[in-house]
Amino acid sequence: MTQDEVLNIFRQSGALLEGHFRLTSGLHSDRYLQCALVLQHPLQAGALGAALAARMCALIGKPDFVIAPALGGILVAHEVAREVGVRGLFAERQEGVLQLRRGFRIEPGEKAFVVEDVVTTGGSTKETMDVVTRAGGIVLAAGSLIDRTGGRADLGVPRVALAVLDIPAFPPEECPLCRTGSQAIKPGSR
């Protein structure tokens, strides 16, 4: 699956909007991503998960399990794990710290793929990697459907993304789109 094919799947479900947006952070941007809108379609979620699994396995071999941070990564871990034929786990926050709950177990020496829907800073992937290593597991690679850092996030392990985007965001007073007279809209409001 090429980057264009991936982005077209996102566009078709409204998960990637192009225009002039006011983000929750208050910053303005020319693109808006909402992965849940593509992952709500099981066929698309399955196709994207299978493509990510294939790319990661070709790069580094098969893991013993796949793990993601909740909530955004859960469906991605599930679909990647389905394709590889291994367990799909998720870590969730308790008192602000990601951890394994619900009886999920990682045996010492087990090898993991850590996946997410979108890498924005790499922070959640890194925290999930720490969950794996604290339990004695080994992180083989990190993967995401979209990397919106332009490939800059360094996680210390091989990384795979189906699409790499560089999406700058600006304070309104510095926004080049505002300067052209265009009005920023809140995503989902049209």
Q: What residues make contact with Zn ion under the rule CB under 5 A?
A: 28, 175, 177-178, 184
Comparing CB distances to Zn ion, the nearer of 134 and 179 is 179
CB 52 to Zn ion: min, Å:
32
Sheet-wide strand order for 87-94: 97-100, 87-94, 65-69, 111-119, 138-147, 159-164
Strand pairing class (65-69; 28-33): unpaired
Comparing CB distances to Zn ion, the nearer of 164 and 169 is 169
Cα distance between residue 93 and residue 58, in whole Å:
31
Q: Which residue's CB atom is positioned nearest to Zn ion?
A: 175
CB 133 to Zn ion: min, Å:
41
* DSSP-based three-state secondary structure for 89: strand
Cα distance between residue 63 and residue 66, in whole Å:
7
CB 20 to Zn ion: min, Å:
6
- Count CA atoms within 13 Å of residue 25 on its CB side: 9
Comparing CB distances to Zn ion, the nearer of 156 and 188 is 188
CB 172 to Zn ion: min, Å:
6
Comparing CB distances to Zn ion, the nearer of 28 and 148 is 28
Closest CA to 61 of 147, 132, 144, 160: 160
Comparing CB distances to Zn ion, the nearer of 23 and 54 is 23
Cα distance between residue 88 and residue 103, in whole Å:
13
CB 186 to Zn ion: min, Å:
12
> Tokens 């991503």 label which residue?
33
